[in-house]
Structure formats: structure tokens, C-alpha cells
Amino acid sequence: MKDPWGRCLRQLTGLFQSLERETQKVVRVVQALETRRVEEQKKKESRKSNVATEVKELPAENLYDELACPKLEIRHVHKLYDAIAPQWDRTRYKGWPRVDDFIVSVCRSNAPSPLIADLGCGNGKYMHHNNGR
């Protein structure tokens, strides 16, 4: 029998790598948009007065805090997810049948303490299988 955990881990690794690539693309786009906004603001201010004003951009090293998310991600991504979370949770209350069957089979196995990691964006809809374990 093939190793289902190995396959699952390879798929998760691939997903995480794809997610990282896409996240880097989004960060570059957001940074470009922010740069353009700053440049447009600078042009607008210079038109208002004959004195050129210096618009300071946020240095790249200040976009990241130690052990924290980038400020741009917090501003744009976290707020979006916080806004849609209640409606998302209401519409995703029932587990997928194949996932439910898999969890039941693992919980019924003779393993002393099976470990199942539900990684990703979830609302705990599979936690009813825990049964105190």
C-alpha cells in the first residue's frame, strides 16, 4: 500500500510553495501600488505649491516587525478575512463526507493516540470527531 501520509505531505508542501510564490507576487503588486500612490501624492502636492515637498516612503525594513506579519498584509488581508469570517463560518458547517470517513477510520484504529492536523483556514467543523482524545 502506498504511503497516504507521504502523499498528503507532498501535496501540502506543494500547496505551501505555491502559496508563498503567490504571496510574494501580491506583496510586490501592493508595494508597486503604494509607490505609485506616493508618487501621485507627491505630484499633487508639488502642483499646489511651487516648493517641492518631500514625501517620505516607509522604508522596506519597517514593513516587517520581528515575529509579526507585514504591515501591508495586516492592512489588506487580515481586515478582509475578519470582515468575511462570520458569513463564511455560517455557510461551512458540514464536513466533507470523504474527510469525515477518513477521520472516523483513523479514530477507530488501534493507534494509542492518533494525531490529525487540520491545517489551513477552517472553523473546526471536524472537531466533533475528537471524542475526548
**What percentage of the chain exceeds 90 in pLDDT?**
11
Distance, CA of 38 to CA of 56 (rounded, Å): 8
Cα distance between the two ends of the chain: 27
pLDDT at 73: 77
Mean pLDDT of 84-106: 84
Residue 2 pLDDT exceeds 80: no
| Overall pTM > 0.85 | no
pLDDT at 103: 83
CB 46 within 8 A of CB 68: no
Which pLDDT tens digit goes with each residue over 20-60?
A: 999 999 999 999 999 999 998 888 777 765 433 333 444 55
**What percentage of the chain exceeds 70 in pLDDT?**
75
Residue 15 pLDDT exceeds 50: yes
CB 98 within 8 A of CB 67: no
pLDDT at 66: 46
